Amino acid sequence: MGLFSNMFRKKSLSPVNGGGGWRILEPFMGAWQRNIELNREDLLSFHAVFACISIISKDIGKLPLELRKKENGVWVKTKDKNLPFFEKPNHFQTMQQFLEYYIISKETRGNTYVLKLRNFKGDVEQLIVLNPDNVTPLVSDDGDVFYKVGIDKLAKLQESIILPASEIIHDRWNCLYHPLVGISPLVACGLSASQGTAIQKYGAKFFGNNGRPSGILTMPGKISKEDAQTIKENWEANYSGENIGKTAVLGGDVKYIAMSMPAADAQMIEQHKWSAEICCSVINVPPWKIGIGSIPQGQKVEDMERIYLNSCLQSPIEAIENCFDAAFDLKAKGYEVFLDLSTLLRMDSISQMNFYSLGVQRGIFAPNEARAVFNYEPKTGGDTPYIQQQNYSLEAISKRDSKDDPFASASGKSNGDGDASNSE
């Protein structure tokens, strides 16, 4: 790696906006002047943000990453000994873990930087997702792109180094200010997450320290200081913490007054739900996927999963495939990278059976191909697609219709309802 630092030491390189990170909006007006900043840890502690990022990374992580090539016009899975990282990306992660961290970096920072770790021969043998806070995009006077990478022991970088763009796979989105700087969706939902977090903290503090019984008893007249202190101590001992909800009994000429939830507290719950829905909207996750709101009525599970795929997952999935294709010039080699969506769009057993049965009947699938989907062994003669004998090709139908009498048989008699073509 020291070779690269010597090669580019004399180049004039300018950092792109301080390294690819943008500050989160201040949590409330005037927070910047008071040095109060909403960090990512505060945002991720809000349940809606955490759940959205978690479900996206897990769903993409469970999709098998496959190297494919075309055979007879069909993409088939293959392997290449020169591309071993498509089986296991590095020495400390499985492919699922690699993809999950890849997406988490992109969701929380707006950028994913993948280092091509080469062996002594110069061949890429590992792919490592770098800490995005440790990478700075640079642009030379000639417009060439470089990346400054800090110390990373997992990537075997013992010192800060500058690498050319060919050594880094850079996946980014929401490039609102610069084509090399992605913006995390956390920027857009920062205030909503801040509000939701504040409501959660308030609720935890309220129920942890405040005493609100389901009803109280009042007495007329004045109360001495000693009695007031005694009542206060008894109240805190008997009607706060785990004893919330019990009826307060204080003695004397008392009246019971039942208590209900104030309108302000009810509105607080609605505000909390609204904050969560805004976060879902920004990250493009349907609220029902993380347990907010109800499941849409009148739609099948498969239809809802397709809505989730099209609105939320399709863009990052396409980005991963395109980044890998471009990084290793796979299309020129006859390869392409695909994330297998079959594990995400699994149908129920009846729909799946009907789908493959119809495919076999129409000659789209061979019987053994359909049997393999249901984990059944192949049968002799089942490797060839077939259709029923009475089916004709369009070409054959066209030749038949071009005759003077399309329904005439080989013996000269008409098979239709019209006049016979032969004479007695």
Residue 11, pLDDT above cutoff 60: no
Can you tell me which residue has the tokens 């590992």?
126
- Is a pLDDT exceeding 60 seen at residue 300? yes
Chain centroid to Cα 15, Å, comes to 30
Collapsed DSSP state (helix, strand, coil) of residue 117: strand
pLDDT at 55: 95
Query: How many CA atoms, within 13 angstroms, populate the side-chain half-sphere of residue 7?
Result: 9
For residue 255, the model assigns a pLDDT of 65
Report whether 247 contacts 256 (CB < 8 A): yes
Mean model confidence pLDDT for the chain: 80
Residues 312-343: pLDDT tens digits?
A: 999 999 999 999 999 999 999 999 999 998 87
Determine how many CB atoms are found less than 10 A away from the CB of residue 94. Answer: 12
Q: Quote the pLDDT of residue 262.
A: 58
d(CA 256, CA 246): 13
Q: What average pLDDT does this structure show over 407-412?
A: 66
- Residue 254 is predicted with a pLDDT of 59
Phi and psi at 102, nearest 5°, equal -55, -50
| Range of weakest confidence among 153-157, 221-225, 288-292, 324-328 | 221-225
Give the mean model confidence (pLDDT) for residues 262-283: 80
Q: Residue 212: what pLDDT?
A: 57
pLDDT of residue 219: 64
In this predicted structure, the answer to whether residue 3 has a pLDDT above a threshold of 80 is: no
Q: According to DSSP H, which parts of 84-238 are helical?
A: 95-109, 190-209, 225-238
Looking at the chain, the whole-number percentage of residues with pLDDT higher than 90 is: 36
Q: What pLDDT digit, counting tens, does each position of 178-225 carry?
A: 999 999 998 888 888 888 888 777 777 666 655 555 556 566 767 677
Give mean pLDDT, residues 255-277. Answer: 71
Higher pLDDT, 217 or 131: 131
Output the pLDDT for position 327: 95
**Pairwise pLDDT comparison (95 vs 387), residue with the higher score:** 95
pLDDT of the residue at 8: 45
Q: Is the pLDDT of residue 107 over 80?
A: yes
In this predicted structure, what is the pLDDT of residue 301? 74
Residue whose structure tokens are 């392409």: 336
pLDDT of residue 249: 66
Most confident of the following: 51-65, 217-231, 297-311: 51-65
pTM of the model: 0.72
Q: What is the 3-state secondary structure (H, E, C) of 179-223?
A: CCECCCCCCCCHHHHHHHHHHHHHHHHHHHHCCCCCEEEECCCCC
Encode 138-152: b = buried (16+ Cβ within 10 Å), e = exposed: bbeeeeebbbbbbeb
At 265, the pLDDT band (50, 70, 90 cuts) reads: low
